[in-house]
């Protein structure tokens, strides 16, 4: 996963009112795609400080918070301890560098994670292997935005291209939709967020 050193540095000051607001919107969108209620186990991959996953603790049987940034994971651990959460665990892991570490879940969600991943197909293939049978992968990220030019992140994603990548890996029932528009949301540019859903049979 890219930009790890950046996230290590910004972890203590990562959260702000805008990020908390967007996290609640994203959590609501994920909640609507969880028809099995709290019977599923989930993995919040690239969880950051857990802003989204902590909103969903009552919607899943358990959530494993996974991030490649040690400092981000430590903040999630503090939240879990302070709130005495019993159905959450943490793991510091970059599955691209350590694919032998096996994750297992019914639902994996990636919130604004792919932006930072140079080779997304490798990561998505590893996560495909981590899903239980009939498991679901949810990707929440920015639509492609030509106004965003950066050496550190993708300029968002074209949904149809990402859908084709998912199908190539082996995912089925792949669908995607834009669900939120915001001002100065992405690198100080107006932007939109999409959710892509895919199933492992």
Q: 98-124, pLDDT tens digit by residue?
A: 887 889 999 999 999 999 999 899 999
Tokens standing for residue 170 = 């082996």
Q: What is the pTM of this model?
A: 0.93
Share of the chain above pLDDT 70, in %: 97
Output b/e per residue, 54-80; b: 16+ Cβ within 10 A.
bbbbebbebbbbbbbbebbbebbbebb
Q: What is the phi/psi pair of residue 193, to 5°?
A: -110, 140
Q: What are the strands, taking DSSP E only, across the chain? A: 41-45, 62-67, 88-92, 105-111, 131-142, 172-186, 189-199
Give per-residue pLDDT as tens, 49-96: 999 999 999 999 999 999 999 999 999 999 999 999 999 999 999 988
Sequence-distant (6+) residues with CB within 8 A of 100 are: none
Topology annotation, domain 4-199: Rossmann fold (3.40.50)
């Amino acid at each position: 996963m890219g930009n790890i050193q950046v996230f290590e540095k910004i972890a203590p000051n990562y959260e702000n009112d805008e990020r908390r607001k967007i996290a609640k919107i994203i959590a609501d969108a994920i909640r609507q795609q969880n028809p099995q209620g709290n019977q599923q186990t989930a993995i919040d991959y690239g969880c950051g400080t857990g802003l989204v996953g902590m909103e969903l603790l009552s919607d899943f049987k358990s959530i494993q918070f996974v991030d490649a940034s040690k400092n981000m994971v430590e903040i999630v651990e503090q939240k879990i301890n302070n709130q005495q959460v019993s159905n959450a665990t943490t793991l510091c892991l970059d599955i691209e560098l350590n694919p032998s570490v096996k994750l297992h879940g019914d639902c994996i969600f990636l919130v604004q994670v792919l932006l930072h991943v140079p080779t997304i197909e490798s990561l998505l293939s590893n996560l495909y292997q981590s899903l239980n049978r009939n498991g679901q992968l949810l990707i929440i990220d920015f639509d492609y935005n030509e106004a965003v030019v950066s050496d550190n992140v993708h300029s968002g994603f074209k949904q149809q291209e990402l859908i084709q990548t998912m199908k190539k890996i082996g995912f089925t029932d792949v669908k995607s939709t834009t669900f939120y528009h915001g001002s100065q949301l992405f690198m100080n540019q107006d932007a939109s967020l999409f959710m892509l859903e895919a199933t492992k049979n």
